[in-house]
Amino acid sequence: MNGPAGQTKNGGADRDRTDDLVIANDALSQLSYGPIGLICRKSAICVNIAGLVARSPCARGPSGDLNPAKGLATNAPMKNPYFFGYGSLVNRRTHVYDRAHQAQVGGWRRVWTHTRLRPLAFLSALPDTPTTIAGLIAEVPGGDWAALDEREFAYDRLSARDQVTHTLGGTPDIQIYSVALDKHPQEARKHPILLSYLDVVLQGYLTEYGEAGAQAFIDTTDGWDTPVLDDRAEPLYPRHQLLGDDERGFVDDALKSVGATILQPD
């Protein structure tokens, strides 16, 4: 496996985050997309429905997806940089970006990642020379990387300018977020994938790329031995969407095809 050409600023994961709960409300007022609140489960794991996850004693967790924040400017000039989204960003129903475009990035594949940062699986991307994955690129609002880096603090931001194929003119700055495994050692225990999140991701790929594209998501994502928590009845993912019968059937069949273990909520 070969890495990208160059690494830029990381997402802030190295700093001390013990005071984050104090500033969480301020951060959420600027960065969250959707209602704010906490759903606390019996295990003392608190799933913040604005996209943050914490374990008592609480320390702020990341959004776990690549959706930008609502309320940030979307009418910035085209000179702004872009980031490559390969998960829930592909579902346009979950964000307000007008300037999001279909794109492919070569030399990467997705992986479900498990760290000590939260009790749910992250969807990340790892360098993999022969693989190309589809997604969307979105303009960074106002060119403000700091806001996205704060939101995606578990991820490093890496240059992908020369790896992304798109229909935009010129060669805009395009970067991709990836969980740095050397900074966040893998947990031996597999944290679950939220089915409400996976539903959103695959609905996006079905809409943008059809069944072949959605199947390609399954085929170019590692870690399907990760259990899947069926939270459809009471979705925990804040930007969950209602799936049609065909979409839901596709997701269920895809999970069967990879032999996924389905967990039922307590």
d(CA 102, CA 137): 6
Does a structural domain hold residue 257?
yes
Does residue 33 form part of some domain?
yes
Whole-angstrom distance, CA of residue 64 vs CA of residue 72: 19
Spell out the residues 6+ positions from residue 261 whose beta carbon is closer than 8 angstroms to its own: 225, 227, 228
Of 2, 11, 1, nearest to 176 (Cα)?
A: 11
Place of tokens 């240059």: 159
User: For the chain, which ranges sit under pLDDT 70?
Assistant: 1-78
Secondary structure class of 198 (helix, strand, coil): helix
The answer as to whether 194 is a domain residue is yes
- Residue 34 within any structural domain of the chain: yes
Is residue 1 one of the residues assigned to a domain?
Answer: no
pTM surpassing 0.85?
A: no
User: Residue 265: left (phi > 0), alpha (psi -120 to 50), or beta?
Assistant: beta
Task: Tell whether 2 is covered by a domain.
Answer: no
In a domain, 172, yes or no: yes
Total of domains in the chain: 1
**pLDDT for position 219:** 98
Which CATH number do you get for residue 249?
A: 3.10.490.10
- With the C-alpha atoms ordered 62, 65, 71, 74, is the resulting torsion angle positive or negative? positive
SS3 38: strand
Which residues constitute the domain of residue 217?
A: 7-263
Instruction: Supply the pLDDT for residue 54.
Output: 35
Residue 58 has a pLDDT of 29
- The answer as to whether 26 is a domain residue is yes
